Amino acid sequence: MRYAFLVAWREFAENAKTKGFWIGLMIFPILIYVSFSAEKLIEKTKSVRHFVLVDQSEELEGAIDAALERHYQREVMQDFRGWVERNKLKKEGAPEGGPKLSAEHLEQLPADSVEAMLARLDEDDPAALDEFLQSGGHAAELERLRPKLRPEAGDFTPPRRSFKRVELPEGIDPEVDAPELAEALKPYLRHERAVATGEGTADLFAAVIVPADILERIVRPGSSLGLALPGAKKEGIQYWSSNLADEDLRDEIERAVNEEVRKREYVARGLDADKVRLVQGTHLPFAALNPKKAAGEETVSVADKIRQWAPIAFVYLLWIAIFTVAQMLLNNTIEEKSNRIIEVLLSSVTPGELMMGKLAGIAAVGLTMIGTWILSLVLILQFKAGQGAGMAGEMLKILRGSDLLTYFLVYFLLGYLLYAGAFLAIGSLCNTLKEAQNMMGPIMVIMIVPLMTMMFIPKEPNGTLATVLSWIPLYTPFVMMNRAAADPPLFDRVGTLILLIATTGGILWLSGRIFRIGILRTGQPPKFMELLRWVRGG
């Protein structure tokens, strides 16, 4: 065992000295930190969407402008809610990190308390924006809450507008037919020309053209206006944009004009539009409850939803870790074999000790790598949670209060030994990386399956697909990791673990037989029947 330990230490030291190892250690924390900061970073770097609106009907312009203003105020409300969450003095009426306040609890809080305000501005509540605007917006809310915020909080800065309407470029007549107007705007939409804004010039993101007779083209149930014919869509409101991925502006405008048209339909049919709007805003509270939780705590929280999907991130991380360290083991073995270093090593140790040392040394590299990743993840979550980032705080509580890290460590070790044994056998048979790549093809196909199914398994963690894949040892580490948050049956947990351990032992035994003979072999890789003879009589 002493010689195996020396080999393991050599493998660890050789790989720990490489630049790739240190880059791998550093890049994951950077990616995690950036992912939590990406939303704010994207918001700051995202350009304002400038657009022109030509309403030749003079009927829908006001509705579109009002809808876009509400869209902006909704962004202001959400940003203000997060700003207050980060700058409040303390949680009122609820323990730190506790569950969402109940309706009965909220009724007992003062109307001007921070927690009551945060509950009122819940973005999931359809009436939250109306209440926010009627109360005077963020300026009035800030004035009421100022005594309950940190002194150094300062003033709230509203976000910039996502969409900004600009005037039609000079020289373009808004009264011409829609096709001619669109043709005149195309150079601006292609960014061949810039439009004038209040601050200078900018690229035109989109153009919205409302034909003069648009209200005569309303599609009603049972009507046939030929909209199914090719090109008929151009007879409606035209939305021109070269950016096909960002449809937020289009969706807001389409929603606004349809609501306005329906409002006019109510009036035309003798209905009170305001009363209809009140009826449409009427809703029943809907609570998602989890029967597995303790009595009184059954409400499904954000943390519960994160916990359900968190294993997917661990599956992906597990896949990367296993593949990276197993590939490292393969490359080292082939390099040492091609350079005849293996012959020198085997003059001092047995093939079994060499194999055990390599497996242990690369495993130590893998454990160092994932240990650093997990530690950095916890530290980043703790730092972000301290800044008031709700998502980071919830994830931190999940990591601390669940067995996900234990599952991850167990399945990493077993998955590594399972695949490392196969990779080590391949490395002992091949003299070049090209030969190894040809033999690794089937293994790579097998390893792709967990990635293809990892999004489906959390939706039905105890279904047929998840259960069947769990009992296939090659997939057990990934699938059972994915099922960890769903509390799979004890029979599946214990049975698949025993089968995985037995299969891993069998793979290592077979790899040891092949490694002992193949590591000193040169020339063409052996045929399948020759491998069988090695295993039988090795």
Q: What is the pLDDT of residues 36-93, one digit of tens each?
A: 666 666 666 677 899 999 999 999 999 999 999 999 998 888 888 878 877 877 554 4
Instruction: Judge if 16 and 103 occupy the same domain.
Output: no
Instruction: Judge if 107 and 29 occupy the same domain.
Output: no
For residue 153, CA distances in Å to 92, 143, 147, 148, 156 come to 18, 13, 11, 10, 8
Res 325: pLDDT:
81
Res 167: pLDDT:
92
- What is the total residue count of the chain? 538
Amino acid occupying residue 92: E
Instruction: Judge if 364 and 478 occupy the same domain.
Output: yes
In-domain check, residue 324: yes
Res 226: pLDDT:
47
Res 104: pLDDT:
43
Instruction: Judge if 122 and 100 occupy the same domain.
Output: yes
Instruction: Judge if 304 and 276 occupy the same domain.
Output: no
Confirm if 403 and 487 have CB atoms less than 8 A apart. no
How many C-beta atoms surround the C-beta of residue 534 within 10 A? 18
In-domain check, residue 291: no
Q: Which domain holds residue 512?
A: 2-35+300-537
Instruction: Judge if 187 and 147 occupy the same domain.
Output: no
| Among 153, 184, 208, residue at a domain's last position | 153
| Among 131, 153, 175, residue at a domain's last position | 153
Instruction: Judge if 370 and 434 occupy the same domain.
Output: yes
Question: What is the CATH number for 208?
Answer: 3.40.190
| Among 109, 125, 153, residue at a domain's last position | 153
Q: DSSP state, 289?
A: B
In-domain check, residue 289: no
Q: What residues have CB less than 8 Å from 452, skipping those under 6 apart?
A: none
User: In a 3-state reduction of DSSP, which class is residue 271?
Assistant: coil
Total of domains in the chain: 3
The Cα 168–Cα 145 span in angstroms is 42
Instruction: Judge if 448 and 433 occupy the same domain.
Output: yes
For residue 330, CA distances in Å to 105, 419, 424, 473, 532 come to 60, 10, 6, 21, 21
Instruction: Judge if 385 and 355 occupy the same domain.
Output: yes
Instruction: Judge if 500 and 404 occupy the same domain.
Output: yes
In-domain check, residue 206: yes
In-domain check, residue 293: no
Q: Give the pTM.
A: 0.64
pLDDT in tens, the chain (538 residues): 677 778 788 777 877 777 777 887 788 778 777 776 666 666 666 778 999 999 999 999 999 999 999 999 988 888 888 788 778 775 544 444 444 444 444 444 444 566 666 666 665 566 778 788 888 888 888 888 888 888 888 888 888 888 999 999 988 999 998 889 999 999 999 999 999 987 889 999 999 999 988 888 888 776 655 444 445 555 689 999 988 888 899 999 999 999 999 888 888 888 887 788 778 777 676 777 777 667 766 666 666 666 667 778 778 888 888 888 887 888 888 877 777 777 777 777 787 888 888 888 888 888 888 888 778 877 777 776 555 455 566 666 666 666 778 888 888 889 888 888 888 888 778 777 777 777 777 778 888 888 888 888 888 888 888 899 999 998 998 898 888 877 788 999 999 999 999 999 998 888 888 877 777 676 666 666 766 776 676 5
Res 445: pLDDT:
83
In-domain check, residue 295: no
Confirm if 479 and 463 have CB atoms less than 8 A apart. no
Res 447: pLDDT:
81
Is residue 443 packed enough to be buried (19+ CB in 10 Å), middle (13-18) or exposed (0-12)? middle
Res 50: pLDDT:
93
Distance of CA 403 to the CA centre of its chain: 21
Instruction: Judge if 437 and 455 occupy the same domain.
Output: yes
In-domain check, residue 287: no
For residue 386, CA distances in Å to 6, 86, 183, 380, 391 come to 44, 9, 53, 10, 11
For residue 184, CA distances in Å to 57, 58, 202, 533 come to 19, 21, 17, 79
Using alpha carbons, select from 63, 50, 53, 71 the residue that is nearest to residue 198. Answer: 50
In-domain check, residue 285: no
Radius of gyration (C-alpha) of the chain in whole angstroms: 32
Backbone angles phi, psi at 168, to 5 degrees: -60, 135
Instruction: Judge if 227 and 95 occupy the same domain.
Output: no
